[in-house]
Amino acid sequence: MENFQNIRVAVDAIVFGYKNNSLYVLLIEQKFGSADKYWALPGGLVRQDESLKEAVIRELHEETNVHLTFMEQLYTFGDDIYRDSRNRVISVAYFALVDASNLEIKADTDADKVQWCKINEIPTLAFDHNLIIEKGIERLKAKLTYEPIGFDLLPQEFLFSDLENLYCTILEKEIDRRNFRKKILSYGFLEQTDHFSPVKSGRPAKLFRFNKLKYNVLLDKGFHFEIKFA
């Protein structure tokens, strides 16, 4: 018996951003061949002559004007054979962390709108994109405790309190700020700069920056990053 397949392969991009003590995800409003519009993750079908990673980078740039050179593969979604009512589609989801304040987003191609959406305000999305985002948040929370990926969500220079608030916001837990500061600084890859934050009230505080080169050197020596919460 001939094993006939008519399955399409797509990619979806989960781009997380962080600003004003809130976690955001990048969404597009898209029209799917009718008068109805839906919010969805950026993404689309993989072309015959490109890799999965090339496809997700291309789709993200085409639909949101965001160009990333690296995205991490998250999960493959296809167990629900009716996840797309138009065709049988298997989607490979990728995720990335960016400094949302440093990106110019603009809708293009088949996206009518693009915007950052707070994680706790995400509407019902097209297909199974709510589930994809849930998986992305799970991965983000887990990785935040064993890899210093939080710095990817912050500007190049930031207040130490911004880093503390980022961990509290994403992990939804309070931290012992004194112990957290002591532990992070003990690793040696976080540097205090000579620059100060804009004065809002009280004394201006110095800004910090993440030294990725020092972190990579530590990794080569067998360094293990770990942040635990009670």
Q: What is the pLDDT of residue 202?
A: 67
Residues 89 and 193 in one domain: no
Among the residues of 66-211, which ranges form H helices? 129-146, 160-171, 177-186
Alpha-carbon distance of 230 to 215, in angstroms, equals 25
Residues 19 and 102 in one domain: yes
Residue 84: φ, ψ to 5°:
-125, 120
Q: What is the pLDDT of residue 227?
A: 87
Alpha-carbon distance of 205 to 185, in angstroms, equals 16
Query: What stretches of the chain adopt beta strand conformation (E)?
Result: 7-19, 22-31, 37-40, 43-45, 72-77, 88-98, 111-118, 190-196, 206-210
Residues 28 and 132 in one domain: yes
Residues 169 and 70 in one domain: no
Residues 105 and 84 in one domain: yes
Residues 102 and 45 in one domain: yes
Q: What does each C-alpha distance from 138 to 75, 116, 133, 144 come to in angstroms?
A: 11, 19, 9, 10
pTM for the full predicted model: 0.92
Question: Do the domain assignments include residue 226?
Answer: no
Domain count, the chain: 2
Residues 26 and 101 in one domain: yes
Residues of the chain with pLDDT under 50: none
Question: Do the domain assignments include residue 182?
Answer: yes
- The token duo for 76 is 């493959």
Domain containing residue 75: CATH number: 3.90.79.10
Residues 39 and 121 in one domain: yes
Question: Do the domain assignments include residue 37?
Answer: yes
Domain containing residue 210: CATH number: 1.10.10.10
Locate tokens 């979806």: which residue? 12
Alpha-carbon distance of 222 to 220, in angstroms, equals 5
Give the end of a domain, one of 117, 146, 175. 146
Q: β-strands 206-210, 72-77: how paired?
A: unpaired
Residue 174 belongs to what domain range?
A: 154-220
- The token duo for 11 is 């990619």
Residues 128 and 158 in one domain: no
Q: What is the pLDDT of residue 14?
A: 98
Q: What is the pLDDT of residue 197?
A: 85
Residues 33 and 127 in one domain: yes
β partners of residue 93 = 12, 75
Alpha-carbon distance of 153 to 165, in angstroms, equals 12
